[in-house]
Structure 1
Amino acid sequence: MVAESAHSWADTGNEIFLFVADRRGNRTRDTDHPLGYGKETYVWSMFAAFGLFTVGAVVSIYHGIQELSSTAEDTDYLVNYIVLALSFVLEGTSFLQAFRQARGTAKKRRIPLLKSVLGSSNSTLRAVFAEDSAALVGLVIAFLGILLHEITGLAVFDAIGSILVGILLALVALVLIDRNRRFLIGESPSDEVESTVLRRLLARDDIARVTYLHTEFVGPGRIYLVAAVDMQGNADEEHVAVALRRVEREIEENDLVEEAVLTLSTPDEVSLAPTHSDVKPDALG
């Protein structure tokens, strides 16, 4: 129960961090931050993951080790069971909301649920989904530890349960830390999404071919796009420059694109060919 209490305190603190992440990450870009504030979401989500590791995992494992040789008297098991049941209902309600949102995104992208959650650029959804899942599993572990303690009279099962909860939280925290780290240093969208972006560019009447394409997440569901293109026709340099700027502005009208930068292809550069993909361009994770 101490381990679950530490987990609950960690979750409460994490919700504050995630709230700040959403607020600060959704600010409109300005001259000081031309690519927006989206990556700040990953910074605050990283803080939340560290909190889960230190407050939840370390405290749970440390307490469990301390209690391995405990000879404490039995407590009121009924109260423990009631608290665990109420916690399971509340955590389950939160998890169902995150599950529905994650499943909807996975269906749009037509990929498995877990792959969608782990690969999603939405760090808040990933954190809530992972932490609520861990909370439900942790409650089951806590229940089994208390139940075995009651049946056998051995407090060691409580201690083992606490250690297992701590290990579970540590694993979840490390996964979340790694995912946020990847997006902070510059994570590219999946090959399927890049292929969809390429096809969208080639579908334009004013673009003949694309020879270079780079996309990078700069926030949840927001990408920075750089491409080398060959414009249709043989307009002079001045008119081509104007056309490029116009195409950039039109591309940036898409809510998924934070900024688009286009340059001209040279005649000797090889054209990129899109691969088959069922991923929808508006389903970017």
Structure 2
Amino acid sequence: MADAANPLRSILYALAANLSIAIAKLVAALVTHSGSMMAEAIHSFADTGNQLLLLLGLKTAKRPPSPEHPLGYGKTIYFWSFIVAIMLFSMGGLYSLYEGWHKLVDPHPLNSPWIAIAVLVFAIIAEGLSLRGCIKEVNKERYGRSFWRWFRETRSSALLVIFGEDLAALLGLVLALFFVAMTMITGNPVWDAYGSISIGVLLVLIAFFIGIEVKSLIIGQGVEPRIKQEMVVFLESQPGVDKVFNLLSLQLGADVMVAAKLRMAPQTDADAMVAQLNEVEAAFRAAFPQVIWRFFEPDLND
């Protein structure tokens, strides 16, 4: 069996990359007066804060169930992931749009543009390594699906957010490099303003798509379709189960709750039926250890 995806590893990759990049971008932005660079610096600092929030979310999601929260705190990570999407939208996207508009109204020539070019090249390499590490974790749970389909179906909000952030950061850096280079070539600072606006639009769009997916998790989603099908097939393969009438699931962070209505094989008495149902539940628990809560109902009809 392949190793499970590890969101924590991807978060740490992104945190190290974004913190170093943010400092380098800020210094370059202050020296060059580049709007694209300042937009990218704010974006990277926002991403650094986002990774800290995701770490907090992963930690609090591990708290054990309590009388007030009998299903645990696993969905806490969804809340913090949604906050990250809002920060990416506001501190990243909207600020970049504002910075671009400001540069259009009051353009300034770039100082020492080669500093900006050098920082952007360094940042592209660092973000590329971070995205590569994230993709390595994503591939552990893609199972041949396209990245877009995985993005729509995954229940790992932390990994989804890091993937979206890393992708936005890398694309934003490429845009910044292009527009700074165009500013150098043409001598027209308006190109730099266009770069900031383009980065802002990119961040707003990616934050919007992340927000949609995380919102669905907050409202309540079942397990991925692939996993649900595996559960149904497994139950129907058990000797004591004739048919699975219905199976409902709820994703609770890393944990899962499952309720199933089953037609059991005929038994001699009620005690034998209960014993058979317990055997099925034990086998199901061993096959799907992420399912912490299981409710199996024997019935004759759906």
Offset, 1:37: 1.9
Equivalent residue, structure 1, for 2:131: 95
> What pairs with 1:46-85 in structure 2 (closer than 5 Å)?
46-85=82-121
2:63 aligns to what SS in structure 1? coil
The residue aligned with 1:226 is: 259
Deviations 1:127-181 (A, max 9, x none): 1111111111101111111111111111111111101101111111111111111
Q: Residues 102 and 117 of structure 1 are in contact (CA less than 8 Å); yes or no, is this contact kept in structure 2? A: no
Does residue 2 of the first structure (1) align with residue 35 of the second (2)?
A: no
2:270 maps to 1:237: yes
State the secondary structure of the residue aligned to 1:73: coil
SS in 2 for 1:172: helix
Instruction: Give yes or no for contact 1:69–1:156 (8 Å, CA) kept in 2.
Output: no
CA contact (8 A) 2:39 2:99 kept: yes
> Which structure has greater helix proportion?
2
Amino acid at match of 2:230: T
Distance 1:79 1:173 in 2: 29
Counterpart residue identity of residue 39, structure 1: K
In structure 1, what is the Cα distance between the partners aligned to 2:285 and 2:75?
A: 18
Answering whether residue 191 of structure 2 is matched by residue 157 of structure 1, we say: yes
1:114 equivalent to 2:148? Answer yes
Deviation of 1:204 (Å): 1.4
Matches within 5 A, 1:1-285: 1-106=37-142, 109-220=143-254, 222-241=255-274, 243-245=276-278, 247-253=280-286, 254-266=288-300, 268-269=301-302
Name stretches of at least 5 consecutive residues in structure 2 with no aligned partner: 1-36
Which residue of 2 is the match for residue 280 of structure 1?
A: none
Q: Is the 8 A contact 1:36 1:258 kept in 2?
A: no
Deviation at 1:98, TM superposition (A): 0.3
Q: Distance in 1 between matches of 2:264 and 2:65?
A: 29
Distance 1:238 1:11 in 2: 57
CA–CA separation in structure 2 for the residues paired with 1:179 and 1:231:
37
Q: Say if 2:261 and 2:299, in contact at 8 Å, map to a contact too.
A: yes
Percentage of matched positions with identical amino acids: 28
Count the aligned residue pairs: 265
Runs of at least 5 residues in structure 1 that lack an aligned partner in the other structure: 270-285
The 10-residue stretch of structure 1 (242-251 or 144-153) with the greater mean CA deviation from structure 2: 242-251
Q: What is the root-mean-square deviation in Å for CA atoms of aligned residues?
A: 1.9
User: What CA distance in whole angstroms lies between the structure 1 residues aligned with 2:63 and 2:276?
Assistant: 29
Q: What is the rounded CA distance, in whole Å, between the counterparts of 2:135 and 2:217 in structure 1?
A: 22
SS in 1 for 2:73: coil
* 4+ residue segments displaced more than 6 Å: none
Report if the CA contact (8 A) 2:238-2:280 is conserved. Answer: no
TM-score using structure 2 length = 0.82
TM-score, L = length of structure 1: 0.86
Distance 1:179 1:94 in 2: 22
